[in-house]
Amino acid sequence: EGHELQENGYYEEALGAYERAISLDPESADGWLGKGDVLKALFKNDSELSAPPEAVGYDFYYADYWSWGATTLSTMRRVEDARGAYEVAVELYDERLLVNPEDVDAWLNKGKALTNLAFMAEFFGDGDKSRELNRKALLAYDRAIELDPQNSRAWSTKGMGLSDERERLEAYDKAIELDPENKDAWTYRGFALATTGPWRSIQTLEAGWIKAIS
């Protein structure tokens, strides 16, 4: 019931259906996963986590939930929990890729999880680990791009892991070329230009970002 309501855009009703399913079976992985998806759609995930990621289990099918849960835990300042969840997500994406090595989303999301782990390692002062994680993330992004060169999201997320400023901007530019409405690409490009770009470029960025969100 919840899935059908969600598919038809009835998110509040779907949320209620998933919560009823969870009340009947607190260990329902589908119920927790569905509730998490609906909360994301309702933009409620900034301050609450529908369930700890382990509630949905360790099947590779739920890799995305672990990754999303890690991001949510991070916004809640539960950094150690977030790091653990990202690590599980990477393992589950690896399992998923064993089943389908050409799963572009799995390569891309694995890369994002690795990028976040690299940021965390750097934050905790482990530069060597950060560089190694970032290297693995770039390999995942490159594989996603190899499988789908027109994937704007792959180019924009790859840019996050590039240390060379010119290469980073080129990745964001490619993402915007493929999808001018890619909000993340405009945002990431803005961060890069804020410290390196001329004022004229920042004005161009602002105009493009406004166009993307309008």
pLDDT single digits (tens) 85-100: 899 999 999 999 999 9
Q: How far apart are CA 127 and CA 119, in angstroms?
A: 10
- Tokens linked to 115: 């990028």
Q: How far apart are CA 101 and CA 66, in angstroms?
A: 20
**139 & 186 share domain:** no
- Tokens linked to 111: 């890369």
Identify the domain containing residue 62 by its residue range.
52-147
Query: What confidence tens digit (pLDDT) does each residue in 102-136 have?
Result: 999 999 999 999 999 999 999 899 999 999 999 99
**Could you tell me the end-to-end alpha-carbon distance of the chain, in angstroms, rounded to an integer?**
33
Q: Give me the number of domains the chain comprises.
A: 3
**42 & 65 share domain:** no
CA 90 to the chain's CA centroid: 12
Quick check: 189 and 157 in contact, CB under 8 A? no
**154 & 143 share domain:** no
**141 & 91 share domain:** yes
Q: How big, in percent rounded to 5, are the helix, strand and coil portions of the chain?
A: 80, 0, 20
- The last residue of one of the domains, among 33, 51, 69, is 51
**124 & 188 share domain:** no
**141 & 74 share domain:** yes
- State mean pLDDT over 20-36: 73
Query: What confidence tens digit (pLDDT) does each residue in 135-194 have?
Result: 999 999 999 999 999 999 999 999 988 988 889 999 999 999 999 999 989 988 888 887
Q: Which of the two residues, 66 and 44, has the higher pLDDT score?
A: 66
Q: Is the pTM of this model over 0.75?
A: no
**77 & 114 share domain:** yes
Is residue 56 over pLDDT 50? yes
Name the percent of the chain lying above pLDDT 90. Answer: 42
- The last residue of one of the domains, among 125, 147, 169, is 147
DSSP code for 162: -
Looking up residue 69, the CATH number of its domain turns out to be 1.25.40.10
Residue that the structure tokens 């998923």 belong to: 96
**82 & 41 share domain:** no
Q: What are all long-range contacts of 83-87, with beta carbons under 8 Å and residues at least 24 apart?
A: 83/117, 83/120, 85/53, 86/113, 86/116, 86/117, 86/120, 87/117
Contacts (Cβ under 8 Å, ≥6 apart) of 214? none
Is residue 213 over pLDDT 50? no
**32 & 61 share domain:** no
**163 & 196 share domain:** yes
